[in-house]
């Protein structure tokens, strides 16, 4: 939750997630003389932060990697962590675990790796989909499910896309729109798929994150701590948050009892939470806002981390992240987090006791503290009212799923466990999202001088990566100060389809 307040004499930023830090960075670059960054938690990062277990294992708040569509974002990250040794650079090694096989991502281009009967089912569906696209060329798909059927066919829909996306979003694909897709989902080329099938080949370089960077030390959260460190320390205040916003007085009331006034307010808290904090609003407006926010849907995310003594199994040893569409594991994605950086685990000479075996059927391990080496897995599980999760059992279910899917061995010694639930976790591209935002965002801005921006501030998953979120804050400041268009918010497909060079970080 971040608020940026702008008046003729003062500017305030509340909360230091990527969007808030993007706003603060731009304000500092523009030499705005009076501003402050106010963060509810004791550290910068928000939903892009990193936790450390007592044993010394690092786990991000979900799967984050650095890839970028913006030169300005790259400039700011490079300024914050400029040394080559600050980073590890990786070629993506990502796979889908399906039918007992590791299929290179994206699966829809690599069905040649699947059993022959599944290949036939998928290719028949893709041929039918071509005919469907021709017949319905003038009728755009209305739902994500319709898009899947039209672009991939029923075979891929049933084998992978429907079950996997339900595990990710915790709602059926029939409940989701398809305007968000862009570069997020690979539409398969029938020619490429047939070529790969005939020559028994795979294609794995698709997408914007085919190569990516990761901080050497401190996890993803280290990036945002470093960005915060480029800002004047006397302008950053941690440990408080907004609890009420008087839209008539243009005043935000903070949890610690203090208040701030504003002329324009840029908020990065969830827009649904923001609406609940508004007071002295027009009665008709608040009724419209409350009604509209019913169209905004989100899911929760359980992040489960496992620290293990030894070395990973050879079948996963070189992989980055993995997808799991089937029911043999509760998680939709697993990351071999120790592969991102060796510093995501404690040093191998640290002596740690075994907490348990991965499979408790092996009994109880010797708990004498012993040295490593160590490695780690990080899994993500979604939750919603449609897809409930038992918080008391999900850790055990996840470990069992890791053994079942060969991510770890039954006799692996687990030395550290991590489980944290994040609510909200994902802003769902629901059928009612766009009509809700078309009501909410203009009312907030035109009637109450509030710009709601960020992953949950503007609720657009298609511009919800770290680079997007940062630039939403940058562009919001430019709109307030100069009336500039917010290209990221208004034209996601445009920014995602090109290298954006309009801004640079200059002294």
Q: What is the pTM of this model?
A: 0.92
CA distance 484 to 505: 17
- Ranges for all domains in the chain classified under CATH 3.50.50.60: 3-48+219-296+430-496
CA distance 218 to 316: 23
Burial classification of residue 179, based on how many CB atoms lie within 10 Å of its CB (0-12 exposed, 13-18 middle, 19 or more buried)? middle
> Which pLDDT score is estimated for 61?
87
Write out pLDDT tens, residues 44-93: 888 889 999 999 999 998 778 888 899 999 999 999 999 999 999 988 88
> Which pLDDT score is estimated for 325?
97
Q: Is 321 helix (H, G, I), strand (E, B) or coil?
A: strand
CA distance 503 to 76: 11
DSSP of 207-226: STTSEEEEESSSHHHHHHHH
Tell me which residues of the chain have a pLDDT lower than 50: 1, 5-9
Nearest alpha-carbon partner for 456 in 10, 38, 47: 47
Residue 146 CA, chain-centre distance (Å), reads 24
Topology at the third CATH level for domain 3-48+219-296+430-496: FAD/NAD(P)-binding domain (3.50.50)
> Which pLDDT score is estimated for 318?
84
In the 3-class helix/strand/coil scheme, how is 38-96 assigned residue by residue? EECCCCCCHHHCEEECCCCCEEECCCCCECCCEHHHHHHHHHHCCCHHHEEEEECCCEE
> Which pLDDT score is estimated for 7?
44
Write out pLDDT tens, residues 270-305: 999 999 999 999 999 999 999 999 999 999 999 999
């Amino acid at each position: 939750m971040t608020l940026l307040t702008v008046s003729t004499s003062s500017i305030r930023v509340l909360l230091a997630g990527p969007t808030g830090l993007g706003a603060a960075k731009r304000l500092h670059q523009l030499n705005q003389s009076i501003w402050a960054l106010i963060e509810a938690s004791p550290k910068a990062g928000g939903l892009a932060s990193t936790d450390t277990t007592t044993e010394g294992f690092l786990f991000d708040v979900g799967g984050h990697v650095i890839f970028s569509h913006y030169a300005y974002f790259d400039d700011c990250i490079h300024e914050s962590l400029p040394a080559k040794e600050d980073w590890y650079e990786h070629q993506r090694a990502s796979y889908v675990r399906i039918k007992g096989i590791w299929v290179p991502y994206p699966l829809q281009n690599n069905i040649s790796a699947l059993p022959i009967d599944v290949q036939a089912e998928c290719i028949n569906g893709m041929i039918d989909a071509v005919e469907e696209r021709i017949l319905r060329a003038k009728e755009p798909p209305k739902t994500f499910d319709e898009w899947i059927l039209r672009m991939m066919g029923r075979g891929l829909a049933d084998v992978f896309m429907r079950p996997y996306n339900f595990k990710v979003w915790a709602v059926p694909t029939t409940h989701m729109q398809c305007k968000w897709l862009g570069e997020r989902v690979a539409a398969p080329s029938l020619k490429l798929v047939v070529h790969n099938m005939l020559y028994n080949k795979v294609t794995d370089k698709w997408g914007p994150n085919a190569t990516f960077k990761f901080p050497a030390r401190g996890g993803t959260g280290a990036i945002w701590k470093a960005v915060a460190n480029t800002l004047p320390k006397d302008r950053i205040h941690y440990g408080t948050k907004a609890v009420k916003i008087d839209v008539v007085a243009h005043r935000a009331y903070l949890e610690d009892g203090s208040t701030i006034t504003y002329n324009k307010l840029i908020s990065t808290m969830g827009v649904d939470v923001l609406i609940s904090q508004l007071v002295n609003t027009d009665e008709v407006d608040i009724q419209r806002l409350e009604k509209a926010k019913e169209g905004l849907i989100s899911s929760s995310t359980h992040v489960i981390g496992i620290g293990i003594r030894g070395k990973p199994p050879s079948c996963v040893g070189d992989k980055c992240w993995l997808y799991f569409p089937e029911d043999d594991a509760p998680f939709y994605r697993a990351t071999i987090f120790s592969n991102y950086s060796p510093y995501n685990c404690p040093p191998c000479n640290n002596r740690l006791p075994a907490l348990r075996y991965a499979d408790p059927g092996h009994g109880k391990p010797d708990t004498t503290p012993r040295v490593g080496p160590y490695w780690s897995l990080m899994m993500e599980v979604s939750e919603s009212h449609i897809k409930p999760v038992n918080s008391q059992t999900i850790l055990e279910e996840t470990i069992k799923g890791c053994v079942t899917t060969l991510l770890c061995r039954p006799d692996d010694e687990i030395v550290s466990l991590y489980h944290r639930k994040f609510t909200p976790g994902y802003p769902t591209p629901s059928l009612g999202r766009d009509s809700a935002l078309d009501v909410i965002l203009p009312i907030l801005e035109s009637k109450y001088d509030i710009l709601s921006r960020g992953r949950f501030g503007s609720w657009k998953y298609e511009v919800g990566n770290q680079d997007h979120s940062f630039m939403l804050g940058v562009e919001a400041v430019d709109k307030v100060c100069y009336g500039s268009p917010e290209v990221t918010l208004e034209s996601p497909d445009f920014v995602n389809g090109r290298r954006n060079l309009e801004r640079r970080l200059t002294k």
